[in-house]
C-alpha cells in the first residue's frame, strides 16, 4: 500500500485556493457556468489526492460516495419541478396569484409574505417546500404589484429559512441538536434569544421598505390585465387550492418531503383534469417538460409557463458536482488540516464564538453543505465549548445562525442553487435583501462578546464536565 504524504496547512490552503479560484475566475472573468467550473475542478482535487499518495480509484470512490448523500435532495428538487408544473395546470398557483393581487396591498405585501412563509415553514419544517409553494406564488404576486423580484425573493427566503431553523420538524434543526448532543427542544428554546430580536428587526425593515410601494405608483391597468387574463384561462376557486392544502398537511405530519411533493403533483394533475379540463396526456407532458400555454398576453405567459422535472436538471447536476469535490477534499484531509491552526488559537469565549462562525461558514462555503458545516462544527468545536464551561446549546445556536442561514447566501451552495432555481432570481440579485440572514449572525456575535444568554454549567455540572474532559 502506497504511503500517504503528510498534508501541511500551506498545501491545504493552496489546494483550496486552486479549487475556489478556478470556479470564481471561470464565472467572473469568462462568464462560464458554475457547474462546468466545478466539473473542471475535479482534475485539481483528484490530482492533489494522487500527489498525496491516494490512488485515483480510491479518490473517485470517495467522491462518488459523497455524491450519494445528495440523492435525496436531488430527487426532491426534481419533484418540486414536477409539482410546480401540475399546480400551474391545476390553477393552484394562478389562484394564489389572483387572490393575492386582489387582497394584498403593495405597502403590506413584504411583511405579509414574510409572515406567510414563516408560518408555512414552521408548520412543515422545510424551507425548500415553502419556497416551492408559497414562494413561487408570492413571486408572481409581487411581480404583478410592481415589487422588484430580488426584493420579493429576499423576503421569501428570510421567512422560509426562519421557519426551517426554528421548526422541530426541520432536518437542519434536528441535525444541529444531534451533532452537539443537545436536546431538541432545549436547542429550539435557546435559539429564541437570538431569533426574536432578529425577526423583529427584519420585519421592521420590510415594513419600512413596503411604504415605498404605494398604490398610486402601480400600473393598475397592468394588474387588471393580469386578473382578467388569469380568470379567462383558469377556473379560480377553492378546489384549485386542494393540492396546496394536501402538501401542507403531509409535510406537517412529517411524511417525507419527496413523497409529499410527488403526491401533491398527482393531486395537482387530478385537479387539472377534472376541474380545469386538461387531458391526461397534457398533464404527463407538463409534469416532465413544464407547463405551457398561450394566454394571449406575453407577460402572463412568463408568469405561468414554468416548472417541469427537466427544469431542475441543472440544479441537480450542480449539487452532484459540488458534493464530489467536497467528498474528495474531506477524504484527503484538506478541510481538517486547514481548520486545525484556527482551533489552536482559541483563548476566550469571544474567540470561540468567532472561530465557530468561521468553521460553519467554511463548511458551508467550501463544502457547499449546511449539513457538512454542522458536522464539522459539532466535531471540532464541541470539546472547546466544554473547556469554557459553555453548554452545548450555545454551539448548536451558532451552527444554525451561520449554517442554516449562511448557505443560501453562497451562489455555489446547494441552498442558494435551489432558491435561485425555484424563485427565478439569481443569488447575487437577492443577496442584499436577505436581512435576516445577516442580522442573525450579528446578534450571535454580540451575544458571544457580551456573554448574554451564553448558558454555562452550574457547579455540579462543571465538576462532572471536568471529570469527563480529564478522562
Whether the CB-CB separation of 151 and 206 falls below 8 Å is answered with no
Determine the Cα–Cα distance for residues 106 and 45; give it in Å rounded to an integer: 49
Residue 456, beta-bridge partner list: 390
The label of the residue with cell 404527463 reads 284
pLDDT in tens, the chain (471 residues): 567 778 888 998 899 889 878 877 886 678 787 778 889 989 999 999 999 999 999 999 999 998 887 787 788 778 888 988 999 999 988 887 788 777 777 788 899 889 888 887 876 667 887 887 678 878 888 887 788 999 999 999 999 999 888 877 677 777 788 778 788 778 888 999 999 999 999 999 999 998 887 654 555 566 678 788 889 999 998 999 999 899 888 877 878 878 988 999 999 999 999 999 999 999 999 999 999 999 888 767 877 888 889 988 877 787 788 778 878 988 898 877 877 787 777 888 999 999 899 888 987 887 666 777 787 787 678 778 888 889 989 999 999 999 889 989 998 787 898 899 889 899 999 999 999 999 999 999 999 999 898 888 876 655 455 444 444
pTM across the whole model: 0.68
Residues 6+ apart with CB under 8 A from 342: 355, 358, 359
φ/ψ of residue 272, rounded to 5? -60, -40
Determine the Cα–Cα distance for residues 436 and 451; give it in Å rounded to an integer: 22
Determine the Cα–Cα distance for residues 73 and 374; give it in Å rounded to an integer: 17
Handedness of CA 227, 230, 231, 236 (dihedral sign): negative
Per domain, the residue ranges of the chain are 71-312
Whether the CB-CB separation of 42 and 327 falls below 8 Å is answered with no
Amino acid at each position: 500500500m502506497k504511503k500517504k504524504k503528510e498534508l501541511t496547512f500551506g498545501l491545504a490552503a493552496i489546494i483550496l485556493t486552486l479549487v475556489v479560484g478556478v470556479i470564481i475566475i471561470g464565472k467572473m472573468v469568462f462568464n462560464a457556468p458554475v457547474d462546468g467550473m466545478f466539473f473542471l475542478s475535479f482534475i485539481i482535487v483528484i490530482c492533489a489526492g494522487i500527489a498525496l499518495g491516494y490512488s485515483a480509484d480510491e479518490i473517485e470512490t470517495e467522491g462518488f460516495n459523497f455524491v450519494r448523500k445528495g440523492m435525496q435532495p436531488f430527487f426532491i428538487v426534481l419533484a418540486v419541478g414536477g409539482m410546480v408544473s401540475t399546480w400551474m395546470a391545476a390553477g393552484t398557483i394562478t389562484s394564489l396569484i389572483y387572490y393575492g393581487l386582489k387582497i394584498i396591498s403593495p405597502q403590506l405585501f413584504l411583511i405579509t409574505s414574510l409572515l406567510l412563509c414563516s408560518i408555512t415553514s414552521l408548520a412543515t419544517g422545510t424551507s425548500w417546500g415553502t419556497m416551492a409553494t408559497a414562494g413561487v406564488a408570492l413571486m408572481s404576486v409581487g411581480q404583478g404589484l410592481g415589487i422588484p423580484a430580488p426584493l420579493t425573493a429576499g423576503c421569501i427566503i428570510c421567512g422560509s429559512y426562519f421557519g426551517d431553523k426554528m421548526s422541530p420538524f426541520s432536518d437542519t434543526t434536528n441535525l444541529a441538536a444531534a451533532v452537539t448532543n443537545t436536546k431538541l427542544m432545549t436547542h429550539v428554546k435557546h435559539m429564541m434569544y437570538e431569533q426574536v430580536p432578529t425577526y423583529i428587526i427584519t420585519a421592521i425593515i420590510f415594513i419600512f421598505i413596503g411604504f415605498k410601494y404605494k398604490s398610486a405608483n402601480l400600473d393598475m391597468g397592468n394588474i387588471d390585465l393580469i386578473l382578467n387574463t388569469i380568470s379567462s384561462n383558469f377556473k379560480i376557486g377553492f378546489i384549485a387550492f386542494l393540492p396546496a392544502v394536501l402538501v401542507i398537511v403531509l409535510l406537517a405530519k412529517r411524511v417525507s418531503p419527496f413523497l409529499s411533493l410527488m403526491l401533491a403533483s398527482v393531486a395537482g394533475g387530478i385537479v387539472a383534469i377534472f376541474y380545469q379540463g386538461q387531458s391526461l396526456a397534457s398533464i404527463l407532458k407538463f409534469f416532465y417538460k413544464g407547463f405551457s400555454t398561450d394566454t394571449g398576453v406575453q407577460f402572463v405567459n412568463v408568469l405561468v409557463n414554468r416548472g417541469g422535472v427537466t427544469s431542475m436538471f441543472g440544479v441537480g447536476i450542480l449539487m452532484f458536482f459540488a458534493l464530489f469535490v467536497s467528498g474528495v477534499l474531506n477524504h484527503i484531509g484538506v478541510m481538517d488540516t486547514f481548520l486545525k491552526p484556527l482551533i489552536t488559537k482559541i483563548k476566550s469565549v469571544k474567540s470561540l464564538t468567532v472561530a465557530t462562525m468561521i468553521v460553519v461558514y467554511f463548511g458551508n462555503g467550501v463544502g457547499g453543505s449546511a449539513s457538512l458545516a454542522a458536522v464539522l462544527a459539532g466535531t471540532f468545536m464541541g470539546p472547546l465549548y466544554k473547556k469554557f464551561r459553555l453548554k452545548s446549546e450555545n454551539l448548536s445556536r451558532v451552527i444554525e445562525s451561520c449554517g442554516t442561514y449562511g448557505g443560501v447566501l453562497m451562489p455555489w451552495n446547494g441552498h442558494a442553487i435551489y432558491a435561485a432555481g425555484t424563485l427565478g432570481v439569481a443569488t447575487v440579485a437577492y443577496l442584499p435583501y436577505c436581512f435576516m440572514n445577516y442580522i442573525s449572525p450579528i446578534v450571535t456575535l454580540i451575544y458571544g462578546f457580551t456573554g448574554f444568554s451564553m448558558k454555562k454549567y452550574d457547579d455540579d455540572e462543571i465538576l462532572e464536565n471536568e471529570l469527563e474532559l480529564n478522562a
